[in-house]
Chain A
Amino acid sequence: MKLFAGNPFNLMEFNDFDFILSTHPWSLKDQRCVVCLINNNTFHIYNNDKVTVLDENKRILKINYYNICFGNINDVINYEFYFFSLIKKTDLIILNLKISSYSNLYKLYDNIKANSNLVNIPVLLVENIQDKNHMSYYAPNSNEEFLFKSASYVYFDTENYMNNKKYIIGKYYKELSNTLKTFKHTVKAND
């Protein structure tokens, strides 16, 4: 899947896309592909005439058998989100991070790498710091380094970074299944 992410102004440089992730509330309308506009914590998906809004209660987008899971700043350190992506057989995780400073962002990098390695799913970060947007991309076990870091826009074919080991839940599958049947999460008043 050919993906572009960044300021739609830079779209002019490229021709062939399957998915456009625009960091601004506009995009080139005549593109014959799926377009995603980021609006605060929601993702507006435009596919021909159809408009879908992805938020905290709807996170998965399917494009030609390619699953993308969307998350926000609350999901970055939460292993549950990454495990959910694994269960849903996600091919790419997109995280929209609105952060006040770069130092906060660097603290999150290690956690994103750790989680991505464990579930074996690549992560694309849309970093919004002081109203400036940057893109970072991490593919699991790629020498522990981000393939793109804080780029103003990215354009790549996701097939180039595909992993052979996919969707392995693990040998504790049955025990987890039994635990989940009886597990009830209660929210305490001081939580």
Chain B
Amino acid sequence: MIRKLNDIISKIKYKHLRKIILNNLIEFDKSTKNNKEVGIFFIKNLKYKCLIESINSGIKENCKLYLFFSNNIYSTKQLKLIADILSVFGILLIIITKSNFIKIYDNKIDFISLETNFKNKMFNLDNIHFCLAYKEDIIDPSFLYLNKIKNTEFFILNDHDNIKSIENASNALISFFLYSNKIFVPLIIEKEKQLIYRKNNIVKINLNYSNKIKKYFNKTNNFLLSQIKTEFNNI
């Protein structure tokens, strides 16, 4: 009896939420796109109402990526409902816990652990490359080189215990590393220009300058690449 009542309540809630979402979709269409700027929203609470409010304010600022850092365990039912809400907007949410990353996009829920292969750790959003990284990954030379040739602009971390390793990886790849509202910026960029704009839970990063620096200093050297390829073939 109680279970039936709960189901009815959740259905009413869901219908109400769907109305709000559809109203917001009209606003979403009107919003202008700016490819040079990446908008990231750091969600504070995963309760449906807070989630909708976060999406509302995020969409107004052109945020397509939503990050939530948490240590809670979420049931499949909860995650499915969140996935359903997000799919209407076409936005991506990543729930980051100490043990894994939960990627929710296009009504799909992916659990990404340390053992997950590199292809699934990487994703592309509006032609900007992101990678989910564990603390073991950012000291792995092959992982970093894979990201170098894939031209990854952002790394999302689930841990920031070893700040030195994060700074090393950020400086070497000239990429941004994110952890719970904290952004690790490569020193070569940080010293030159302030490119980060913060407003409440929103962070916007202009990639124009960092891309120019990468093109000039960190571009692929054909000779080195061919030598690395040969060496890999020989081993």
**Interface of A toward B, CB cutoff 8 Å:** 56-57, 74-84, 86-88, 107, 110-111, 113-115, 117-119, 144, 168-173, 175-177, 179-181, 183, 185, 187, 191
- Which of B30-38, B42-50, B215-223 participates in binding chain A? B215-223
Give the total number of A-B pairs whose CB atoms are below 8 A apart. Answer: 120
- Separation of A179 and B146 alpha carbons in the complex (Å): 8
Contacts of A144 in B (CB 8 A): 164
Contact: A118 with B168, CB < 8 Å?
Answer: yes
Contact: B141 with A111, CB < 8 Å?
Answer: no
Between A and B, 19 residue pairs with Cβ closer than 8 Å are: A75-B221, A78-B221, A79-B145, A80-B220, A80-B228, A81-B221, A83-B145, A84-B228, A114-B171, A115-B168, A115-B172, A170-B142, A172-B143, A175-B118, A179-B146, A180-B149, A180-B228, A183-B149, A185-B225
- Separation of A181 and B232 alpha carbons in the complex (Å): 9
Chain B nearest CB from A114 CB (Å) reads 4
Q: Contact check: which of A77, A87, A115 meets B231 at CB < 8 Å?
A: A87
Contact: B145 with A176, CB < 8 Å?
Answer: yes
Contacts of A171 in B (CB 8 A): 140, 142-143
Contact: A114 with B145, CB < 8 Å?
Answer: no
Additional pairs, 12, CB under 8 Å, beyond known A80-B218, A107-B191, A118-B139: A74-B221, A76-B217, A77-B174, A80-B220, A84-B228, A107-B188, A114-B168, A175-B142, A175-B146, A183-B149, A185-B225, A191-B215
- Separation of A173 and B223 alpha carbons in the complex (Å): 20
Interface size on B, residues (CB 8 A): 41
- Determine chain B's interface SS by DSSP, over half rule: helix
Contacts of B150 in A (CB 8 A): 179
Contacts of B129 in A (CB 8 A): none
Contact: A57 with B146, CB < 8 Å?
Answer: no
**Interface of B toward A, CB cutoff 8 Å:** 117-119, 139-146, 148-150, 164, 167-174, 187-188, 191, 215, 217-225, 227-229, 231-232
Contact: A79 with B232, CB < 8 Å?
Answer: no
Contact: A111 with B187, CB < 8 Å?
Answer: yes
- Identify the interface centre among A79, A144, A175, A183: most chain B CB within 10 Å of its CB: A79
Contact: A170 with B221, CB < 8 Å?
Answer: no
- Separation of A173 and B141 alpha carbons in the complex (Å): 9
Contacts of B148 in A (CB 8 A): 79-80, 83
Contacts of B191 in A (CB 8 A): 107
